[in-house]
Amino acid sequence: MEQTLDLRPFFNTAVSGNCVVFGFDGHFLNVLVIDRVREPHKGAKALPGRLMLPDEDVEEVAIGAVKAITGLEKVYHKQVRAFGSTARHPAGRVISIAYYALVRMEGLNLQEATFAHNPQWYRVDDLPKLAFDHNDIIASALRRLRKRLQQKPVALEMLPEKFTLPQLHRLYEDLFRASFDKRNFRRKILASGLFIPLEEFQENGQNRPPRLYRADEARYLELRTNGNQFAPDL
Amino acid sequence: MEQTLDLRPFFNTAVSGNCVVFGFDGHFLNVLVIDRVREPHKGAKALPGRLMLPDEDVEEVAIGAVKAITGLEKVYHKQVRAFGSTARHPAGRVISIAYYALVRMEGLNLQEATFAHNPQWYRVDDLPKLAFDHNDIIASALRRLRKRLQQKPVALEMLPEKFTLPQLHRLYEDLFRASFDKRNFRRKILASGLFIPLEEFQENGQNRPPRLYRADEARYLELRTNGNQFAPDL
DNA sequence: GCAAAAGTGTTAGTCATACACCCATGT
DNA sequence: ACATGGGTGTATGACTAACACTTTTGC
């Protein structure tokens, strides 16, 4: 006869859903950071997110926080991984499950949430010291995003519906910290059959207005699910 | 003055560390499966692993289970991700953090553990129905392993110290479910500078004995950390 | 007409692919 | 000598990488 094991000591951990929200402002990759409202690390900068209740879905907790702050209804996101080091939180054992999300920054206006004041964008290469191990989480998320962008055209999630090739070019150069030949970049990118040229041009101020493009929705979904090489090599 | 939030409802979750152990038997990719000793799903086939106590490291829980069963001291492993669906476990909310590990099957003799009876290898394309969502976990782990093998030479972790190129060839073909031209495969693989030919040959029985190779340890670590293209394209 | 960014083709080299025969062994 | 799997080179096409000038706009 099997003894019934006392499971109570195991049901003693908290799980936090957090999200690294990436956006591109036309020049640099940015990350969304909030001020913590509660202890621990009250007032410190941190990633959006909160603790999960036992009947909640972790993913919805993490992405729900992003939706609350950005006002967006659909957000492209992926799990990074679980961060499980002991001694992250004074109240007990907390595991953080981290996601990253890609959003269009243009026209967003950031809202406060009950658990998150003063949402701000920071350039990814100019981040302050964040609460917990959130700097490590961002570093991991960025590595994952880079890998994904080499294979899938998800960079589009950070651009406006109508965008120019120079914008896309800058995005890739900033993200990979590399420079790509303009002509080769265009050729390769256009060969994917993903970009539809419009008869519209972006009024840029001083210079020749670049042509606007939009993504072919069906092709985008196809490449996002089945593609496995997108960006130029490094 | 900040009200102190009651955190007790959050510290109410259990975390399980589980591991998909991959091995290669010379012909097929295999996964290590155990029989569950306790409820729930007592007697069912499942992945090695157990619930984490609040002062334990999840990774050590998952990999420790593998070490206990295989007797190995060092095991190459990576986190797959957290599996967090609600209603996975009747006793309450359980999050599983899944890893995969790569081991050399040759000469291993599998041990029982307190939480795991009757460890067995199953071919990855001939798995039984496992407890919880462990079949999904294996499917995810396999996808991750494939991606990693395209970039890093970690297949070596599943081969003996001295191995032949036909062995490596079969490993890649089985893993990617593809066939690679023998000459092109050798050329590409040898061009990595990772394989040192030995003056030894494997007695194979009927045929011409294939030459044995070993990996250049320094080059292996270099390619494992910095490489980003290893396998032949699909 | 000048400054600033957009846009456009060609060439050379490298890399991937396709392909067929001889070799060493055990029976 | 034959059956089985191990081992080797070359030629063609595809893709990558390097490179400079003309166009459009606002001032």
Report the residue of chain A nearest B58, measured CA to CA: A84
Tell me whether B78 touches chain A (CB under 8 Å).
no
Chain D bases having any atom below 7 Å from a protein CB = 3-10, 16-20, 23-27
For the stretch A25-36, pLDDT in tens is 999 999 999 999
Task: Provide the pLDDT for residue A120.
Answer: 97
Chain C bases having any atom below 7 Å from a protein CB = 3-10, 16-20, 23-27
pLDDT of residue B1 exceeding 50, the answer is no
Specify the DSSP element, H or E, that contains A101: strand A94-103
Range list for CATH 1.10.10.10 in chain B: 154-226
Residue whose CA is minimally distant from C27 C1'? B206
Is the pTM here over 0.85, yes or no? yes
Instruction: For residue B187, say whether its CB is under 7 Å from any atom of strand D.
Output: yes
Mean pLDDT of chain B: 93
Tell me whether A225 touches chain B (CB under 8 Å).
no
Share of chain B above pLDDT 90, in %: 84
Range list for CATH 3.90.79.10 in chain B: 8-151
For the stretch B146-185, pLDDT in tens is 999 999 999 999 999 999 999 999 999 999 999 999 999 9
Structural tokens at position B48: 């090695």
Tell me whether A205 touches chain B (CB under 8 Å).
no
Residue with token string 């939180």: A89
Task: Provide the pLDDT for residue B179.
Answer: 94
**Nucleotide in closest CA–C1' contact with B182:** D7
Tell me whether A97 touches chain B (CB under 8 Å).
yes
Choice between B90 and A226, residue whose per-residue pLDDT is larger:
A226
pLDDT of residue B59 exceeding 80, the answer is yes
Task: Provide the pLDDT for residue A1.
Answer: 46
Residue whose CA is minimally distant from D8 C1'? B183
Which stretch of A96-110, A218-232, B162-176 has the lowest confidence by average pLDDT? A218-232
Choice between A90 and B134, residue whose per-residue pLDDT is larger:
B134
- SS3 of residue B170 by DSSP: helix
CATH of domain A8-151: 3.90.79.10
Task: Provide the pLDDT for residue B84.
Answer: 84
CA distance A94 to A88: 7
Are B58 and A92 within 8 A, CB to CB? Answer: no
- Residue A86: pLDDT band (50, 70, 90) is low
A11: nearest CB among B4, B14, B228: B14
Task: Provide the pLDDT for residue B86.
Answer: 66
CA distance A77 to A99: 7
- Domain B154-226 -> CATH class: mainly alpha
The b/e string for A12-41 (b: 16+ C-beta within 10 A; e otherwise) is: bbbbbbbbbbbbbeeebbbbbbbbbbbeeb
**Nucleotide in closest CA–C1' contact with B164:** D6
Task: Provide the pLDDT for residue A234.
Answer: 72
